[in-house]
Amino acid sequence: MELGEEKEMMYEKIMNSLDDTENFALKLASLLEAQDTITLEGDLGAGKTTFTKALAKGLGVTRTVNSPTFTIVKQYEGRLPFNHLDVYRLAESDEDLGWDELFYGDAVSVIEWAHLIEQDLPQERLGIEIYRIGENQRRFVLTPLGKRYEALCEELMK
Amino acid sequence: MIWLGIETANAPLSIAVIKDGKVIAEIVQNIKLTHSAGAMPAIEEVLANAGIKPSELDAIAVSEGPGSYTGVRIGVTLAKTLAWTLKKPLVGISSLKSLAANAALYDGLICPIFDARRGNVYTAVYKGCELETIIEDYHDHIDGLLERLQAFEAPVLFVGVDVDVFWHKIVEVLGDYAQRTPFSNDLPRASETVRLATKLELPSVDAVHHFVPQYKRIAEAEANWLKEQKEKAHE
């Protein structure tokens, strides 16, 4: 992807508790629309799963959300369909798993280890990096790519 | 000879039982139910309605793609699992040809279309009652397809529920050459999948193990690599 000389915007948010993280995920969920795509990066234990569970809850998913590492994709039904992807196992693979129908259908998608399928991702999307800075403290770095996601971040930061 | 036909390559679902060249029972539907939840119960229902036990089946025909990756995988997985456990031969039929068969009374160019998102389609062109292949199944932008169709300078009959998505553009480019099937012919029917399968030689039961879906689409990385090679060749 060529971003040219355009400067990437970045937003930062410190979560001081698990509740902060959950509330943030719920707020984000309330703003999401079909085809929205979020990439999620963070070390083990950073809280990617905690965040995703809260986001799914906010989307009205009632089933238990757990790791898609083995299956690569798990799909849930909520206010919007929800795709939870972990593409870790696709490292070194060029396989097309039908990305277009996943990302350009009716669903919201969250992708863990997304950089491994960089060229298959929608160019416009929201990047979220989670850094652990204490037992329950986290630093969230949001990188919106595209106007839709810039507006989303503005709304989120209010 | 008793056949089970399975068609889940896109949003519509169709399951059929054919006995000695006659359709005994068939389900054709296009509802908001995922194939993972709907396909297996539909197979049970059609078999029950037909009064056929799985062990009585002689062969299975499946719509092998292209189409929705998820849909194709579900159909092929069901078909393979049934064929392998029942030790019956499995025949794969192009999902595009299977849909085009709905228009096989038309003596002209038939163009089935599946929406591949982002302005892209899975498509092919067949001709007349024998469904002679004019353009093989492939993945293209709608503009690319219409350019190829324009060159025929002949009427083209479009088939499929996804034609809706592109109809405006199709008419814009092809004008009076653009024709559509009646809506009652827009859903794929597993009985057509079986009909096309009966024309082929039955593969061995061992071949079931090697059966794979036909996605008809190369991965982005491969496409980029090919493009680079082409550009290099031009330099």
Q: Which fold has domain A11-91+104-157?
A: Rossmann fold (3.40.50)
Model confidence at B33, pLDDT cuts 50, 70, 90, reads confident
For residues B128 and B108, is the Cβ–Cβ distance under 8 A? yes
Task: Determine the 3-state secondary structure of A91 from DSSP.
Answer: coil
List the structure tokens of A16. Answer: 């001081």
Collect all residues of chain A within an 8 Å Cβ-Cβ radius of residue B216.
none
CATH of B105-185, one of 2.60.120.10, 3.40.720.10, 3.20.20.210, 3.30.420.40: 3.30.420.40
Percent helix, percent strand, percent coil in chain B, to nearest 5 = 45, 25, 30
Local structure of residue B203 (DSSP, 8 states): P
Model confidence at B233, pLDDT cuts 50, 70, 90, reads confident
Interface contact flag, A119 B217, Cβ < 8 Å: no
**Closest approach of chain B CAs to the CA of A133, in angstroms?**
37
Residues sharing a CB contact under 8 Å with residue B151, sequence separation 6 or more, in sequence order: none
For residues B120 and B88, is the Cβ–Cβ distance under 8 A? no
Residues of chain B with pLDDT > 70, as a percent, come to: 98
Among B116, B222, B224, the residue with its CB nearest the CB of A100 is: B116
**pLDDT tens track for B107-125:** 999 999 999 988 999 999 9
**Closest approach of chain A CAs to the CA of B170, in angstroms?**
22
Model confidence at A148, pLDDT cuts 50, 70, 90, reads very high
Task: Determine the 3-state secondary structure of B6 from DSSP.
Answer: strand
Per-residue pLDDT, averaged over B84-105, amounts to 97
Q: Tell me, yes or no, if B226 comes closer than 8 A to chain A by beta carbon.
A: no
Does position B221 have pLDDT exceeding 90, yes or no? no
Q: Where are the beta strands (DSSP E) in A9-152?
A: 11-15, 37-42, 73-76, 82-86, 108-112, 125-132, 138-145
Local structure of residue A121 (DSSP, 8 states): S
- A144, A151, B175 from A157: Cα distances, Å: 12, 10, 50
Q: Mean pLDDT in chain A?
A: 91
Does position A142 have pLDDT exceeding 70, yes or no? yes
For residues B6 and B75, is the Cβ–Cβ distance under 8 A? yes
Per-residue pLDDT, averaged over B99-106, amounts to 96
pLDDT, position B34 = 84
Among A95, A101, A105, the residue with its CB nearest the CB of B219 is: A95
Does position A8 have pLDDT exceeding 80, yes or no? no
Does position B234 have pLDDT exceeding 90, yes or no? no
Does position A2 have pLDDT exceeding 60, yes or no? no
Residue type (1 letter), A19: D
Query: Rounded to an integer, what distance in angstroms lies between the CA atom of residue B231 and that of residue B235?
Result: 6
Q: Where are the domains of chain B?
A: 2-95+188-221, 105-185
Model confidence at A1, pLDDT cuts 50, 70, 90, reads very low
Model confidence at A6, pLDDT cuts 50, 70, 90, reads low
H or E stretch at A86? strand A82-86
Superfamily of domain B2-95+188-221: ATPase, nucleotide binding domain (3.30.420.40)
Angle at B19 between CA B18 and CA B25, to 5 degrees: 45
Q: Is the ipTM of this complex over 0.90?
A: no
A125-132/A37-42 β-pairing: parallel
**pLDDT tens track for A30-76:** 999 999 999 999 998 899 999 999 999 999 999 999 989 888 999 99
H or E stretch at A76? strand A73-76
Collect all residues of chain A within an 8 Å Cβ-Cβ radius of residue B221.
94, 119
Least confident segment among A135-139, B31-35, B87-91, B142-146: B31-35
Local structure of residue A7 (DSSP, 8 states): P
- A8, A11, A63, B119, B188 from A150: Cα distances, Å: 10, 10, 30, 25, 42
Among B68, B217, B221, the residue with its CB nearest the CB of A94 is: B221
Q: Tell me, yes or no, if B117 comes closer than 8 A to chain A by beta carbon.
A: yes
Q: Which B residues 45-74 touch A at CB under 8 Å? A: 68-70
Per-residue pLDDT, averaged over B163-174, amounts to 98
| Entry pTM | 0.85
Collect all residues of chain B within an 8 Å Cβ-Cβ radius of residue A96.
69, 215, 217-220
Q: Mean pLDDT in chain B?
A: 95
**Largest Cα–Cα separation, chain A:** 43
Query: Rounded to an integer, what distance in angstroms lies between the CA atom of residue B46 and that of residue B119?
Result: 36
